[in-house]
Structure 1
Amino acid sequence: MDTLFDSPCRYMSDSELLYEISNNRQIVSDIERSNEVIDLEKLFSSLTPGRRRVAVAAVEIYKRQQSQQVECRQILRSEDIYELMGPLIGDLPNEEFWAISLNQSAKLIKKVRISVGGIDQTSADIRLIMRVLIDTGATQFAAVHNHPSGNIRPSNEDKRLTEQLKKAAGLLNIRMIDHVIITNGGYYSFGDEGLI
């Protein structure tokens, strides 16, 4: 039996891997002919329902694993926040807002999804976020949300929310370390820009 880390898949070409997933030479030929980067959405939509469920589950496990590798170390920089949350929300078709609760040593206590919105906005209730931080025992935190459009620049609403969060958390003696906006291709950090 093949082991997870020493299977023949490691040595297969992209085309051979696509065939392993799809079991359909036509799909592989179409992708090879288009000579484009593999679009997983398109590939998965062409699979049978059973294969699609398995493929989507495998991708989700991979994304969570990428995020979990960051969970056990200190969250000190915007890059750490991006590595923690990018795999989870970077490619979503809708906006999500998360609060990252940290202890005094900058270790992750909990990641909490605050809201799920539409394609270009989500709401974030300051009181709910503060309650999450208090309930988890956070002494510091980061706010994180994604921009499905791919535009990493903060909106005026993003800037206003960041100011409100910083003020509310300050009253509770909880330090806001950053607000990071994540896209599929990168991130924007209020902290790196000197806005925290």
Structure 2
Amino acid sequence: MQGTSIKHWAEDDRPREKMLMKGTEALSNAELLAIIINNGTKDKSAVDVAKELLAVVQNEIYQLGRLSVKEMVKLKVKGIGEAKAVTIAAALELGIRRETADRKRTTVTHSRDIAEFLRAKLQYKKHEVFAVVFLNRANKIMHYEVISEGGITGTVADPRIILKKTLEHDAVNIILCHNHPSGSIKPSRQDEEITQKIKEAARFLDVKVLDHIIVSEEGYYSFADEGIL
């Protein structure tokens, strides 16, 4: 086989092509690492080098992420010099930062933490949609689901369905949300009534309604922020 760069491998062994055809989830840790390494040595493919590197850390990717560039080089895996160690360390650090960012985004401490997420999902809908965000005790988002979709005149949020799904997802806190296709974010009398109805029903199951957020292209309205929850 001439050369060891990915472009010279047999098609079945090409992680890049496999990723393009099947997506990142279809690749093993070694194949993903091989893409980062890019090429192997005279005797080994990039996948082989990746497998050897992973074997040294007991195939635990988090252990690899804990190594400094110097520590990675000291493992003396043939094909992993300083330049490749720098590339691997940078890629793993990006993964760590992404995970941290995801956790920050999905833990709700203020209405604005969830409002922009909900606006992005609902503000351009041409009909009214009622959705619920389900959270655990630490206010980390566990699930988001549209409960009902209605015509332009409105939609009905059934407390029984909402509480059933709350129990299914082992949630202890919920945030209600719906959009106003008209653009106005001012709550209607019906909005206030359904909020109180769900709040009272949830109380019997020790579930807390943290907020009801109305979104539109104009912005958002938080019942909690306005003190009317």
Check whether TM > 0.5: yes
Alpha-carbon distance in 2 for matches of 1:160, 1:90: 22
Which of 185, 189, 197 matches 1:152?
A: 185
1:130 aligns with 2:156: no
Alpha-carbon distance in 2 for matches of 1:146, 1:72: 21
| SS of equivalent residue, structure 1 residue 193 | coil
Write out per-residue CA displacement over residues 72-126 of structure 1, whole angstroms, 9 at most, x where no aligned residue.
Answer: 4311211112122111101110110001100011000000110011123111111
Question: Could you say which residue in structure 2 is the equivalent of 1:166?
Answer: 199
- Amino acid of the residue matched to residue 170 of structure 1? R
Q: Give the Å deviation of 1:143.
A: 0.2
Q: Does the CA-based 8 Å contact 1:140-1:176 persist in structure 2? A: yes
Question: Could you say which residue in structure 1 is the equivalent of 2:173?
Answer: 140
1:88 aligns with 2:121: yes
Unaligned runs of 5+ in 1: 1-67
Between the two proteins, the alignment pairs up a number of residues equal to 129
Alpha-carbon distance in 2 for matches of 1:174, 1:148: 29
Question: Could you say which residue in structure 2 is the equivalent of 1:107?
Answer: 140
Alpha-carbon distance in 2 for matches of 1:194, 1:182: 17
Question: Could you say which residue in structure 2 is the equivalent of 1:189?
Answer: 222
| Coordinate RMSD, CA, aligned | 1.6
- Amino acid of the residue matched to residue 116 of structure 2? E
| SS of equivalent residue, structure 1 residue 88 | helix
1:120 aligns with 2:153: yes
Q: Does the CA-based 8 Å contact 2:105-2:113 persist in structure 1? A: no
| SS of equivalent residue, structure 1 residue 92 | coil
Q: TM-score, normalised by structure 2?
A: 0.54
Q: Does the CA-based 8 Å contact 1:141-1:178 persist in structure 2? A: yes
Q: How do 1:54-93 and structure 2 match up within 5 A?
A: 72-93=105-126
Q: Does the CA-based 8 Å contact 1:93-1:148 persist in structure 2? A: yes
Q: Does the CA-based 8 Å contact 1:70-1:83 persist in structure 2? A: no
Greater relative CO (CA pairs within 8 A, separation 6+): 1
Runs of 4+ in structure 1 deviating by more than 6 angstroms, as ranges, are none
